[in-house]
Structure 1
Amino acid sequence: MAQTSRLPPLNALRAFEAAARLESFSRAADELAVTPGAISQQIRLLEDHVGTPLFTRQGRGLALTDAGRAAANTASDAFDMLERAVSLMRRPAMKRSLTVSVSPSFAGKWLAPRLHRFQDAHPGIEVWISAASERVDLAAGAADLAIRYGPGGDMTLNEERLLTEEVLPVCSPDLLHDGKPLVRPRDLAGHTLLHDASPESDVDGADWASWLKARRVRGIDVSGGVRFNQSALVIDSAVAGRGVALAKRTLVQNDLAAGRLVALFSDGASPVRSAYHVVTAKNRPLSADAQSFIAWLKAEARHHESSVDEL
């Protein structure tokens, strides 16, 4: 059959991609939920369409021809792109919407209290905050950008540091007035310790045991107290006067500035290696709205860090 510029049937291309990737008609049939005979028929149809063999049959074995080998990776990439396109189609159709993926604690304690300033400056952009602990697939279009906490260095994404972090002991001012003394770190022995048990805390050493060890404080039992799997819950419990929290500075700063919490000990702050990063997919160009949001985030981060210096 003469070559043509028309594309062959999609089923034939799908059969070729699966058979080339799996190097087997039988495994391709299992993956696509059809019979091996159907895969063989689709391959013959494709070979007739392009005018050249794509596989050689060697007994029960299967090998790609030069033409098949040249097209195999491109075919896989093409189907990946189609899957991403379908994912984008399934997103809610909203005019000039921007979806930002972020952890619940960062969303509630840092981002949400500031978001009105972006909305005032950009009333035509509808921002959707997707607050979840699970990381979404940015390459598949699940969000336009994300703010993630960690050591950084993910080479599969575009990544830019937004905010550094440190931890420090905090408590309600009522606890200072009405509770046992809290003048020196060893006074913590008389208080309930509130633990941030979010996954990144163990990686950073941002826990009570590490904090006390760095200050050579012994004799305090860190196995008791209350543990929370989200940083914001640790802070809220401290505001309620339930104990002393080892809190992330970025998340606790609003409560410190408002007087709901007080920082303890002159040398209480300990830097951690993790930071907050703005991340985007490498395979998807940034929209003008996403660029505006990132620029706003950076300005807010600079203002935040200058206010930390003033505390």
Structure 2
Amino acid sequence: MNVAVLDDYLDVARACADWSRLPAGAMLQVFREPLVGEDVRARALAGFDVIVAMRERTAFPASLLERLPDLRLLVTTGMRNASIDLEACRRRGVTVCGTGAVGAPAAELTWALLLALLKRVPESDRALREGAWQTGLTQTVEGKRLGVVGLGKLGTQVARVGRAFGMEVVAWSPRLTAERAEAGGARLVDKHTLFSTSDVVTLHLVLGDGTRGVVGDAELRAMKRSAYLVNTSRAGLVDEAALLSALREERIAGAGLDVFSVEPLPRGHPLTTLPNTVLTPHLGYATRENFDVFYRDALEDILAWSTGQPIRALGTR
């Protein structure tokens, strides 16, 4: 058995699980650097029976799967991965399994970004290190309106923290009802009202055909000049070109972003040059606790599959 673990940027996969439990003779290879481009991926992954993918860092469309004839098991961390073509896996007899996860760390990071924006944490830290003192006023969170786009598990957690801070919380998503909004600690409003009246808009939708580009030029133009956008969900929810224009022209006050259209974000990307952004390198799920569960469960998936009894299978059997 040849096992590949992909996109271990921080070199933690080997320490997060006891890989010595793999069947006798199994070979484990951990890839730290991203495999950029389908040709590179096809060459690097040829000959592997088992691949462990970290979330959606590496895509597995049908075209790539066709070039991996030895692949029999594909494990994704988490129980959902839009970057894997499950139907193509089913056709090729590739079993796809997922893993558990811990808590809702992306919701926690949402608040880290939101508070960093309103409290000017990055600017103040830089100024203080350079010998300056109190270079600008911060803002109070209490009393502001928080607009939550998507009120599922993560959005609900963000909304409840907002209420604890004394914010007025409103919410919208394509199928959200007033009753579900209230249960999630928010008040349902229409999309335009949310974007035009919120002081902070935070995104927590699943990316799909109906939500891709849900925040475009019209939504950004509706926002107040004093408002902020926070996205710890998926980059595809936002028209990145429209966001860059809004930030450059200061039509919104700023943005806190953990997800990007190209990851890892290239050096010199326009977003990194703007003073009104707070950026993190897709850390929403990257916690020690989460990775311990990811890799522990991935190993369990491999062991169960090797005995002919796969667990946590995702729509391929």
If the length of structure 2 is used for normalisation, what is the TM-score?
Answer: 0.30
| Larger radius of gyration between Structure 1 and Structure 2 | 1
> Which has the larger strand fraction?
1
